[in-house]
Copies of this chain bind each other. A is one copy, B any other.
């Protein structure tokens, strides 16, 4: 692909108008929307209204008058549509980590006699850590396997997988794995943090039991946006969650001494949600709902495929599958000096990120990126590699967060 061809692709791109719905600093090519999505233009106004008009002027009455009390359910329901969940099965609450804890615990309760959480080595750390913490608390055990499907047996209560790997961008086949786990009598919990807003999802169709996901990546919900969780309708009636907070009570405002869970997914709310952050998340979700999922996926695959081809002679080891069916919306390439190379790129306003020990990650969010951005990013990487610019001393010193 030449740059002129890339520009032509942008002219023909049905998603092109979405770019202007975001604040994107001039000259920056932002390939880190898989870590923190950019600011939707409408968010600043919405958050200001929540702060000044709702909180400032209506004060406590906003819980009724401005619908704060329903906000977690409302945004959850919208996310449910994005992920193809059944109605009334998805809610916004807490963080991805906390939601993992709730649903892993719920899964164990639904499979008495089975005491193993089975997961994948190299899964996102918080998934592994939360499973480990739950195991220490309850005496269940965690198995990490390179190929967890080979370890499905009668002890496995729940298979915990991330749909799109945070590091490599490799994507699991959700339907097929879910069915194999079910055949073995296990439940499946999918972490959608790197999928939602980036790849098509059909949880109901795929018969998924449980899912969690992140609000601040491809959903563009803002830094630390609250997370979501989703549960198959068939599992809701008997769902036992360990974090029994007052807002998940059947009658939170009865202030009764005994806990009785709310009907359905509402019981998964624990404490009062952070309304400012939740309101910002809704703007990102609303924007994503406007975009046709098939157009997003088609463009995502073209962006990632183009980038992989444009950089394939630069001496990197490609970690991302070239098979379109097996990748999400990011490209990961490895290099022993990956950290310094990424710093040199960032200095040139091409922003990706680095994951230890040697991975350069580039997220390609189809809602705001242009084909020309992909071409320019690849050209910049070529210049960095060919000039050796990354060898400069100042790129070698690591910061804590990248």
Contacts and interface: CB of A to CB of B under 8 A. Distances in A.
B280 A223 contact: no
A400 interface: yes
Q: How many copies does the complex hold?
A: 2
Interface stretch (A75-83, A130-138, A152-160, A194-202): A130-138
A278 interface: yes
A284 B116 CA distance: 45
Contact of A94 (B32, B94, B124, B167): B94
A51 B279 CA distance: 12
Given A44-B52, A52-B23, A224 B275 contact: yes
B137 A105 contact: yes
A125 B55 contact: no
Interface in A30-78: 30, 32, 35-36, 38-39, 43-44, 47-48, 51-52, 54-57, 59-64, 68-69
A274 interface: yes
Contacts of A275: 222-224, 277
Contacts of A253: 356, 400-402
Contacts of A356: 253-255
Contacts of A246: 97, 124-126, 129
Q: What band does the interface of chain A fall in when counting residues whose beta carbon is under 8 Å from B?
A: 35 or more
A60 B48 contact: no
A356 B254 CA distance: 6
A221 to B, nearest CB: 9
B51 A222 contact: yes
A136 B240 contact: yes
A151 interface: no
Interface stretch (A256-264, A303-311, A330-338): A256-264
A57 B216 CA distance: 16
B241 A133 contact: yes
A98 B276 contact: no
7 contacts: A95-B245, A126-B245, A134-B242, A224-B272, A224-B274, A274-B278, A277-B277
| 4 A-B pairs with the lowest CB-CB distances in the bound complex, closest first | A95-B271, A133-B244, A274-B277, A97-B245
